[in-house]
């Protein structure tokens, strides 16, 4: 009996280890979740392990907006275990993104489980980011966009033909546009990035189309792999272990499919140099051959907030370096990742606002009929002459920016307007809230493209509008995305009017996990114009 009553040394040690681990976890969580309290930064109380993410169930953009309204333009919240300082003041944002860019040039660490994505421009940091950005910049210059503009017209023309078929059916022209716009963007990226004529608007079972859909459906922030990745993002090396446990954000076979396409395209260009194409891959390959410090950023698009010129501040004294094969593949994948959902979303909301603002649609049609009446008139230079269209798209992006926030990481203690940012601090810039701040946008819920007239925009803070970011790290694909949106919109309005249908959601339901997209699509009536 005495033997039975004795506790084994092993079980006693286990109890003590569990107790010690629990105590350490409690101490860590207490220390971690009192970070802002110790710093004197106001903000909502976090929930253990989850931080403030439970507040996001109705939408990240609404939660962040609520924090700002309650705690001010500089407050703190927790993304799971990671404390982040929320900054909604455009002057502070400008100092973070432009003036003190050298102290806030990196983005928050995102655990990526595939090495081919880790070198993507939007995920890279420090010297690797500088090298890749400098090398890629010429591929996105105004001159290169002019070369690609005709390629963009081809998928846009197919989009128009598909809409004409809808108008001729018994559906009375009522169509869900998100799928069609997504196919148009996929065709454009396939052609302009990889030199592939996919025609996903017709060939829905094409392997490229099926793998692309699988890829984007995996971008689910509620999936176990994504949640575990975000929870363990502060633990070094975990992103390499998760795939071994079967926890991958992106299906490995899908990534392998696109990597194989890119590798094949690169090899074809090496072996058949005579058949030169004008696409993203070729432009990047060409830009690494000439190490001259040529400044090709000759076309300061209005949508850069006037901060694009600062992108060369880090580059002018640097010679371009050839990208490694992995870096080149990573950029081609990134072109696809960053350009598909965001541009599709922007087109969806542009169409929605055209239908719900028929007077503004009339203005655009009048401008298009005067300046670009036919498809052949749609050139890069002619599109830039359409100021009403430019203002319309800018206002659409103000109301419905594709992303809810931009993030940066501080690398050196910096004081901005009396607020101290310490090295290692994560900083979140809430695009949605800044775009709807009545101090900078009177009557912010109203759709009013005239806000972007030169006289109205003159006194506004430049970074009160930032769907593409700002400063040296502004979206490098800005010009290409705007060319896609302008081309499709002009070609549509040359042939059709967009009208509200009984099925149209007003206002549209919005995505909740950081992407401000229409999860239910945008359903409108498409009516052929009588000229």
- For 54-90, the three-class secondary structure string (H helix, E strand, C coil) is HHHHHCHHHHHHHHHHHHCCEEEEEECCEEEEEECCH
Q: In whole angstroms, what is the distance from residue 70 CA to residue 307 CA?
A: 31
The answer on whether 475 is annotated among ligand-binding residues is yes
Q: Are strands 426-430 and 82-87 parallel, antiparallel or unpaired?
A: parallel
Are the C-beta atoms of 111 and 117 separated by less than 8 Å?
no
Express each pLDDT in 319-358 by its tens digit. Answer: 677 788 888 888 888 888 889 999 999 999 999 999 999 9
* pLDDT value of residue 224: 67
pLDDT digits 0-9 by tens, 179-217: 999 999 999 998 998 888 888 878 888 888 888 888 877
Q: For 125-139, 239-253, 410-424, which range has the lowest pLDDT when averaged over its residues? A: 239-253
Quick one: which H or E segment has residue 421?
Answer: strand 419-421
pLDDT at 145 over 90: yes
Domain extents for the chain?
88-528
Would the pTM of this model clear 0.75, i.e. be above it? yes
- Contact in structure between 392 and 353 (CB atoms under 8 Å): yes
What number of other Cβ atoms are within 10 A of residue 45's Cβ? 10
pLDDT band for position 375 (cuts 50, 70, 90): very high
431 φ/ψ angles, rounded to the nearest 5 degrees: -55, -50
Identify whether 507 is preceded by a cis peptide bond (ω within 30 of 0).
Answer: yes
Averaged over 276-286, what is the pLDDT?
79
Distance CA(35)–CA(15), nearest Å, equals: 31
Helix and strand numbers (H, E) in the chain are 21, 9
Residue 185 near residue 348 (C-beta atoms within 8 A):
no
Q: Which two tokens stand for residue 390?
A: 């430019």
CATH topology (fold) of 88-528: Cytochrome p450 (1.10.630)
Residue 175: which residues within 8 A CB-CB, separation 6 or more?
Answer: 163, 166, 523, 524, 525, 526
């Amino acid at each position: 009996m005495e033997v039975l009553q004795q506790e084994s040394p092993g079980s006693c040690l286990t109890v003590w280890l569990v107790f010690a681990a629990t105590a350490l976890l409690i101490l860590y969580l207490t220390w971690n979740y009192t970070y802002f309290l110790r710093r004197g930064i106001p903000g909502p109380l976090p929930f253990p392990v989850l931080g403030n993410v439970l507040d996001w169930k109705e939408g990240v953009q609404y939660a962040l907006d609520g924090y700002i309204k309650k705690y001010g333009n500089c407050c703190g919240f927790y993304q799971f275990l990671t404390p982040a300082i929320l900054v909604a003041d455009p002057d502070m944002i400008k100092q973070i993104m432009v003036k003190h860019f050298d102290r806030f040039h990196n983005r928050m660490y995102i655990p990526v489980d595939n090495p081919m994505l880790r070198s993507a421009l939007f995920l890279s940091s420090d010297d690797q980011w500088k090298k890749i950005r400098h090398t890629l910049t010429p591929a996105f210059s105004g001159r290169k966009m002019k070369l690609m503009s005709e390629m963009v017209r081809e998928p846009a023309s197919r989009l128009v033909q598909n809409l004409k078929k809808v108008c001729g059916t018994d559906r009375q022209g009522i169509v869900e546009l998100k799928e069609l716009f997504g196919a148009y963007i996929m065709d454009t990226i396939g052609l302009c990035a990889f030199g592939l004529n996919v025609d996903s608007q017709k060939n829905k079972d094409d392997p490229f189309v099926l793998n692309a859909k699988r890829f984007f459906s995996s971008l689910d922030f509620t999936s176990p792999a994504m949640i575990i990745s975000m929870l363990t993002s502060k633990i070094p090396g975990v992103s390499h272990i998760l795939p071994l446990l079967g926890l991958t954000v992106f299906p490995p076979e899908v990534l392998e499919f696109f990597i194989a396409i890119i590798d094949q395209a690169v090899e074809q260009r090496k072996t058949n140099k005579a058949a030169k194409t004008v696409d993203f891959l070729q432009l990047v390959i060409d830009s690494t051959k000439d190490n001259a410090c040529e400044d090709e950023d000759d076309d300061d698009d209005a949508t850069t907030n006037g901060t694009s010129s600062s992108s060369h501040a880090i580059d002018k004294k640097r010679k371009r370096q050839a990208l490694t094969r992995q870096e080149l593949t990573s950029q081609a994948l990134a072109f696809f990742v960053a350009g598909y959902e965001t541009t599709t979303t922007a087109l969806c909301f542009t169409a929605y606002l055209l239908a719900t603002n028929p007077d503004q649609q009339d203005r655009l049609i009048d401008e298009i009929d005067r300046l670009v009446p036919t498809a052949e008139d749609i050139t890069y230079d002619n599109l830039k002459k359409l100021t009403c269209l430019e203002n319309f798209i800018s206002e659409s992006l103000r109301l419905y920016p594709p992303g809810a926030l931009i993030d940066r990481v501080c690398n050196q203690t910096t004081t901005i307007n009396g607020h101290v940012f310490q090295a290692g601090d994560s900083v979140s810039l809430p695009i949605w809230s800044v775009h709807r701040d009545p101090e900078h946008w009177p009557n912010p819920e109203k759709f009013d493209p005239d806000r972007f007239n030169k006289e109205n925009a003159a006194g506004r803070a430049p970074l009160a509008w930032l769907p593409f970011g700002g400063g040296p790290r502004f979206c490098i694909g800005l010009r290409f995305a705007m060319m896609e949106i302008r081309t499709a919109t002009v070609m549509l309005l040359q042939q059709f009017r967009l009208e509200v249908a009984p099925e149209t959601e007003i206002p549209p339901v919005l995505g909740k996990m950081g992407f401000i997209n229409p999860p239910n699509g945008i359903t409108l009536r498409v009516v052929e114009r009588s000229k």
